[in-house]
Structure 1
Amino acid sequence: KKILNRHLLVHSEQRKYKCDVCDKSFKIKYNLNSHLLRHSEQRKYKCDVCDKSFKMKDGLNKHLIIHSEQRKYKCDVCDKSFKLKGSLYTHLLFHSEQRKYKCDVCDKSFKLKGSLYTHLLFHSEQRKYKCDVCDKSFKVKASLSKHLLIHSEQRKYKCDVCDKSFKLKSSLYTHLLFHSDQRKYKCDVCDKNFKVKASLSKHLIIHSEQRKYKCDVCDKSFKMKDGLIKHLIIHSEQRKYNCDVCDKGFTMKGGLNKHLIIHSEQRKYKCDVCDNSFKVKSSLNVHLIIHSDQRKYKCDVCDKSFKVKNGLNKHLLIHSQQRKYKCDVCDKSFKVKASLSKHLLIHSEQTKFNCDVCDKSFKRKEPKHFDNTIEYHSSLEDGLGGSLQTSTDDHKWDSTSNHNNTNQNLIHTLHRKYTCNVCNKDFKENKCLNRHLLVHSEQRKYKCDVCDKSFKRKGDLNSHILRHSEQRKYKCDVCDKSFKGKSNLNSHIVTHSEQRKYKCDVCDKSFKVKSNLNDHLVTHSEQRKYKCDVCDKSFKVKSSLNEHLIIHSDQRKYKCDVCDKSFKVKSSLNKHLIIHSDQRKYKCDVCDKSFKVKSSLNKHLIIHSDPRKYKCDVCNKSFKVKGELNRHLLIHSEQRKYKCDVCDKSFKVKRSLNKHLIIHSEQRKYKCNVCDKSFKVKSSLNVHLIIHSDQRKYKCDVCNKSFKVKGDLNRHLLIHSEQRKYKCDVCDKSFKVKSSLNKHLIIHSEQRKYKCDVCDKSFKVKGDLNRHLLIHSQQRKYKCDVCDKSFKVKSSLNKHLIIHSEQRQ
């Protein structure tokens, strides 16, 4: 009956025996006594084998079984044997599907009551077990015990296969699975197999859409807790893992370990296809994708496919309009954080990466679109350098691979091992050769949707599309000029700079842009490899040939909306439109004269310049502009290659022929608003308008006679000069003006090519014919104001006026 009474206490809820230390209560007094031993520091039961001591005797008895090799309790399900019967009972629960211990907080259920107690600690904020070494605290004592092994140097669990040792026995068991080929844990979704059940459990989370671990800083969510823990390090400024070689700091130890491989010369992962070697296996795996033709990651928007998932993820940003990374300096926004980080370097003045060969310094060590870096500044010569490097762990190019080592300072090497089979041009990198081969290809797979123009490269299409856009979002801070493309803005900004760092070694002329220097160097070359198929004219630059070919074309597709004049080239139309504009924004600082075009101002400024450095070797006449000297040299030349098809007259300059052709035209489109007289050439109208003006601003210093036109003054000054340098070879008569000599030479000529249609009388000079024709005319437009007598010729009127003058005397 006594035993029954004791047993009935088990079913009772009454706990009348309470511990004074921790307030825990018990149903039986014996349990309280046993419990009090835990609060006691006395351990009077000692093991004779290992000197471990215990507070209670049954604890010692259980411990002695550990030193025994006898395992008499065997599991009928899996044949596993145990030293203690309690261990067998606990083990049998693993084979049972029954989970009768349920958590009241999260409804999770367990097979063992102890597992429930351990689980409830996760919902508790109390961490009463603290590490004396690093002050880290734990909820469960077993977790503290495992943690203390980290601070211990003892590794007593050794692998028999590879001699690797471990601090924990469980770590050894997990390690032994790596030597086993058995993968008994299979994923039901993708049929992937795993050696460890924990690996399968982690893998199944990938197929789950649930992301229950959320970052409090940026709201990013993760499927696994360790993913969140790694992510939180990004928001931390602490970099406690430092590289001993270069002092670079890392937030995670794994990042440091990966970085240390850079300083190692060992490349043990080799590609079987191209013999390229890598320091990291992941770099080799990513590299092998290059040799594969499979593109299994496809974009749902544009059907573009990629070999690597990371490439697809980056591509999807193109279709996104969201730019959540904003620059605090200039308000520019970016789709990717890495792009913002690279952009911020623009605002930095620090250039800490120096080239060992030429002392050129750079802001960044890593490549930006393969150019302007210390390792990859081969791009200055070939337009492309380096190899791809991404920020994710599953897709990474080894930035210190064999290939990249040869890339370092390529600009200083003369070795060009990649040769084009078409034109024999050499390149330092294979990628540069591949880009060049597009030039020889006829395939143009990138087509413009607006004008159907096609291109070989996508970048060229993107640049072309900007022409159809009216948006000019890149604005110059100096002059408020706006541009469609950023590269155009960058080129424009150079014009505001006074620095000319690119100098010609031949003539010491300096330039702001390197491309301008390259174009200039062609002028010093005698080679003209671009030839016109129509007229055999050759050019040094291809662009000059393209401009020249327009001359042979009759198409004038650029038309002026004001005067209907049409042009072959758009630039000519743009220049012409300035004529219709009244704005003259280019002003001379010397005489306040203003011009519509800057080039006109530059030409005008030469007038105020004193030196005439271009001198004619024939007559010693000097000029301020080289172009004027070239035109002057034609005077001394006997060659007249421009011939008129109407009258066979020939000219030294094409411009003179164009002016002459107007004579044969009946069109007189320039009309005087004062007297309705019309002219074929605008310059003739301008000269004529001076007649109606009373202003005579050109004055002779000798006789104070004034003239309306400067040319008249120059001719007048010859009267006061005694020099007669134009001499007739027939009669030795000399003249001050060459035109007078030309007129005189007609006297010695027997040719009379100007004939009167009325009386067949012929004349040597056209002026004599014009005066003769007045005889046959009845018109008398010159009238005397004194006697109303009229005359056909003005000279007759002048003679007549003398009569009235003598009468007055």
Structure 2
Amino acid sequence: MNLGAHMIVHTGEKPFQCDLCDSAFSHKSSFKKHMMTHTGEKPFQCDMCDSAFTQKSDLKQHMMTHTGEKRFQCDLCDSAFSRKSNLKEHIMVHTGEKPFQCDLCDSAFSHKSSIKKHMMTHTGEKPIQCDLCDSAFTQKCDLKRHMMTHTGEKPFHCDLCDSAFSHKRSIKKHMMTHTGEKPFQCDLCDSAFTQKSDLKKHMMTHTGEKRFQCDLCDSAFSRKSNLKEHIMGHTGEKPFQCDLCDSAFSHKSSIKKHMMTHTGEKPFQCDLCDSAFTQKSDIKKHMMTHTGEKPFQCDLCDSAFTQKSDLKKHMMTHTGEKPFQCDLCDSAFTQKSDLKKHMMTHTGEKPFQCDLCDSTFSRKSILKQHMMSHTGEKPFHCDLCDSAFSRKVYLRKHLRTHTGEKSYRCDLCDSAFSRKVDLGRHLKTHTGEKPFQCDLCDSAFRDKSTLTSHIRTHIGERSFHCGLCDKVFLRKYHLRVHMMIHTGEKPFKCDLCDSGFSHKGSLKRHMLTHTGEKPFKCNLCDSAFTQKRSIKDHIMTHTGEKPFQCGLCDSAFTKKSHLKRHMMTHTGEKPFQCDLCDSAFSQKSNLKWHITTHTGEKPFQCDLCDSAFSQKSNLKQHMMTHTGEKPFHCDICDYTSTEKNTIKKKKQTHRRETLPV
């Protein structure tokens, strides 16, 4: 180069102007090379591959990729390069030198080409256009990589597995999954990463920096890709379509996960149990069930969670926030998924069909639980007894029967409950609220399930059949209780005596016989009762009301059960047969009393004398001989008696006396 040509470097003069674009050059040789970018001319051809170049020096450097020659060695590490310029740029990694400063921001770079690319982030310029789609790029190498998404070409193969990649850097990252290498360490925690960019993103979790702001809402993100995905939530765009079903997704990663639901692939296996997962994040969360780790602590209560998202949802229970509003009713929810499920109650949609019966469900999880009713599977076992359950939530409720825990307390009375739903029902007894109205009569109910059961009384539907007898029931709960008659199961035991009961309510009523408590008082007399239904029946003795009428005679009764027993006098039916003789009875209680005539058993003992009786009612009458009490009065004379039947006979004698002779 002569001095005149060199001086142009100092003066900035560029006398060689391109007629096809705005480029200008200080040297004629540079201008000549530039023109080849317009003509596409590449006169220097590689003999070993199809590559061609505009300059001989470029071909020479390219040949080193075939020979593997790297003549330029770094004195500070083992790196070697085929070009001196690459070594020079590499040295700056050691020295930290970044001589190329951006005029628009604080960024600095070690290479001139890097700042040139960086400036395009300010100008938005993307001069390299894809011919097959609308994508555009700042660099030619990016376009080259992008083209592989169209051709499906993946030239870089992993030697340890079947994975293949379109970019060399991708396989380099992939190899770290085999070696476990994570060279980028966080200085503030124990996290480590395979890529520097991932460490940079991770640091934002410490600093709280969220540079990417959504223009449509207040959301902000630490990554541009997350903002891009978030925007699709506003636009509803779902560009990734499943080829096997109608599902579509806004993220490529989501469709990749979705495809595993078709293939059944679960590549992430737990080392401590048989569980397997489709995502690495899921197995990480699952491991916390083994370790008991709950790193996300609520600042307002003692609750702790394995996931940050769960803590975020939990906080809404404190704030009362329910951002997802139903457009068809006043319901609101803390989660979008709950709103989606709720909408099915309006549409009636039940897309999940049982293959073994006609049942359909609005949720896949409910179908899964339903299938256990066919298989009899009960995977959740109680450690304190032999009970097993089909759902974890049932086991959790059951455990409260052992611990006696009642964490849901009523603010209006002393009642406490083990379940939030029970407290909700109880509060309606204070407010008198009955929001669920029957369309067929004037009845109203506190909860929807009771209304559903009530509707069946109108249509005569009894869906729950006993497999051991002909009984059918309106509610599944009633069937479950009925089954205990067949099994003899009485899980609710009295702590004060040997009595056992099939339901908790029966035990609760029984306990009143020990305490003597009679909380239900009659407003018309001094009578008191242990059960609400007893006072209801008692009130009818004042009003004379007998709503249950016999269709075969004029008899009427205060209770349906009494009418049922009465009907047996017409039919002659005596379903309760004695095993020790030919006697048969219309009521189970009469059979029970009869059995004592065979056994001689007299379990009801008088505390004041040696008398004993086979029936409690006989003991009660006997006690009156000690107290002198005669509660039954004749309306016609002053005669009193300890027995109701005696008064009945007395009245008959009065009637006979009034008859004409």
TM-score after normalising by structure 2: 0.72
Is 1:102 the equivalent of 2:75?
yes
Once structures 1 and 2 are overlaid, which stretch shifts more, 158-167 or 646-655? 646-655
Task: Give the secondary-structure state (helix, strand or coil) at the position aligned to 1:301.
Answer: coil
- Partners of 1:320 and 1:579 in 2: CA distance: 45
Which structure is higher in helix share? 2
- Partners of 1:99 and 1:63 in 2: CA distance: 25
- Partners of 2:324 and 2:544 in 1: CA distance: 47
- Partners of 2:524 and 2:75 in 1: CA distance: 99
Say if 1:447 and 1:461, in contact at 8 Å, map to a contact too.
no
Q: State the AA in 2 paired with 1:719.
A: C
Say if 1:474 and 1:489, in contact at 8 Å, map to a contact too.
no
Determine which of 7, 13, 17 is the counterpart of 1:49.
Answer: 17
Is 1:578 the equivalent of 2:511?
yes
Q: State the AA in 1 paired with 2:308.
A: K
Determine which of 335, 339, 352 is the counterpart of 1:374.
Answer: 339
1:242 Cα deviation from its structure 2 partner: 1.7
Say if 1:503 and 1:510, in contact at 8 Å, map to a contact too.
yes
The 1:480–1:88 alpha-carbon spacing in structure 2 relative to 1, beyond 3 Å, is farther
Task: Give the secondary-structure state (helix, strand or coil) at the position aligned to 1:494.
Answer: helix
Aligned residues: 622
Instruction: State the Cα deviation string for residues 582-602 of structure 1 (Å, max 9, x = none).
Output: 48595869899999x9x5377
- Partners of 2:441 and 2:23 in 1: CA distance: 95
Q: State the AA in 2 paired with 1:711.
A: P
Structure 2 residue runs of 5 or longer lacking an equivalent are 551-556, 640-645
Task: Give the secondary-structure state (helix, strand or coil) at the position aligned to 2:302.
Answer: coil
Say if 2:437 and 2:444, in contact at 8 Å, map to a contact too.
yes
Q: State the AA in 1 paired with 2:426.
A: T
In structure 1, the residue matched to 2:223 is 252
1:182 Cα deviation from its structure 2 partner: 6.2
- Partners of 1:116 and 1:474 in 2: CA distance: 72
1:339 Cα deviation from its structure 2 partner: 1.9
- Partners of 1:163 and 1:667 in 2: CA distance: 96
- Partners of 2:12 and 2:597 in 1: CA distance: 135
Determine which of 511, 527, 531 is the counterpart of 2:445.
Answer: 511
The 1:63–1:613 alpha-carbon spacing in structure 2 relative to 1, beyond 3 Å, is farther
- Partners of 2:58 and 2:237 in 1: CA distance: 54
Once structures 1 and 2 are overlaid, which stretch shifts more, 226-235 or 277-286? 277-286
- Partners of 1:632 and 1:71 in 2: CA distance: 107
Say if 2:294 and 2:304, in contact at 8 Å, map to a contact too.
yes
In structure 2, the residue matched to 1:132 is 103
- Partners of 2:349 and 2:14 in 1: CA distance: 79
Is 1:197 the equivalent of 2:168?
yes
Task: Give the secondary-structure state (helix, strand or coil) at the position aligned to 2:257.
Answer: helix
1:224 Cα deviation from its structure 2 partner: 0.6
Instruction: State the Cα deviation string for residues 98-154 of structure 1 (Å, max 9, x = none).
Output: 553323xxx464546655554454466776654333454445554333211333355
Q: State the AA in 1 paired with 2:407.
A: K
Q: How does 1:208-357 map to 2 (within 5 A)?
A: 208-215=179-186, 219-234=190-205, 236=208, 238=210, 240-242=212-214, 244=216, 249-262=220-233, 270-274=241-245, 276=247, 281-307=252-278, 309-357=280-328
- Partners of 2:289 and 2:535 in 1: CA distance: 51
- Partners of 1:559 and 1:150 in 2: CA distance: 76
1:47 Cα deviation from its structure 2 partner: 2.6
In structure 1, the residue matched to 2:333 is 362
- Partners of 2:97 and 2:523 in 1: CA distance: 87
1:481 Cα deviation from its structure 2 partner: 4.6
The 1:477–1:326 alpha-carbon spacing in structure 2 relative to 1, beyond 3 Å, is farther
Determine which of 322, 327, 346 is the counterpart of 1:412.
Answer: 346
Is 1:147 the equivalent of 2:118?
yes
1:356 Cα deviation from its structure 2 partner: 2.4
Q: Which has the higher contact order (CA 8 A, sep 6+)?
A: 1
Instruction: State the Cα deviation string for residues 469-490 of structure 1 (Å, max 9, x = none).
Output: 945666224458574xxxx343
Instruction: State the Cα deviation string for residues 176-232 of structure 1 (Å, max 9, x = none).
Output: 565667655443333544444333333333333232334455543211111123334
1:323 Cα deviation from its structure 2 partner: 0.9
Is 1:719 the equivalent of 2:652?
no
The 1:77–1:281 alpha-carbon spacing in structure 2 relative to 1, beyond 3 Å, is closer
- Partners of 1:417 and 1:288 in 2: CA distance: 20
1:322 Cα deviation from its structure 2 partner: 0.7
Say if 2:269 and 2:277, in contact at 8 Å, map to a contact too.
yes
1:347 Cα deviation from its structure 2 partner: 2.4
Once structures 1 and 2 are overlaid, which stretch shifts more, 265-274 or 221-230? 265-274
Instruction: State the Cα deviation string for residues 219-275 of structure 1 (Å, max 9, x = none).
Output: 43211111123334455353633254x675544332233344456677665544445
- Partners of 1:187 and 1:96 in 2: CA distance: 24
Q: How does 1:421-436 map to 2 (within 5 A)?
A: 423-426=357-360, 436=370
- Partners of 2:160 and 2:504 in 1: CA distance: 65
- Partners of 1:618 and 1:158 in 2: CA distance: 90
1:375 Cα deviation from its structure 2 partner: 2.0
Determine which of 475, 479, 491 is the counterpart of 2:407.
Answer: 475
The 1:537–1:514 alpha-carbon spacing in structure 2 relative to 1, beyond 3 Å, is closer
- Partners of 1:336 and 1:207 in 2: CA distance: 27
1:43 Cα deviation from its structure 2 partner: 0.9
Say if 1:587 and 1:593, in contact at 8 Å, map to a contact too.
no
In structure 1, the residue matched to 2:455 is 521
The 1:628–1:250 alpha-carbon spacing in structure 2 relative to 1, beyond 3 Å, is same
- Partners of 1:633 and 1:219 in 2: CA distance: 75
Q: How does 1:787-798 map to 2 (within 5 A)?
A: none
In structure 1, the residue matched to 2:554 is none
Task: Give the secondary-structure state (helix, strand or coil) at the position aligned to 1:207.
Answer: helix
TM-score after normalising by structure 1: 0.60
The 1:137–1:589 alpha-carbon spacing in structure 2 relative to 1, beyond 3 Å, is farther
Structure 1 residue runs of 5 or longer lacking an equivalent are 1-32, 368-372, 378-408, 620-625, 694-707, 722-735, 748-809
Determine which of 475, 495, 498 is the counterpart of 2:426.
Answer: 495
Say if 2:548 and 2:560, in contact at 8 Å, map to a contact too.
no
Q: State the AA in 2 paired with 1:374.
A: L
Determine which of 738, 751, 759 is the counterpart of 2:648.
Answer: 738
- Partners of 2:459 and 2:99 in 1: CA distance: 86
Specify the structure having the higher radius of gyration (Cα). 1
In structure 2, the residue matched to 1:383 is none
- Partners of 1:501 and 1:314 in 2: CA distance: 41
Q: State the AA in 2 paired with 1:740.
A: K
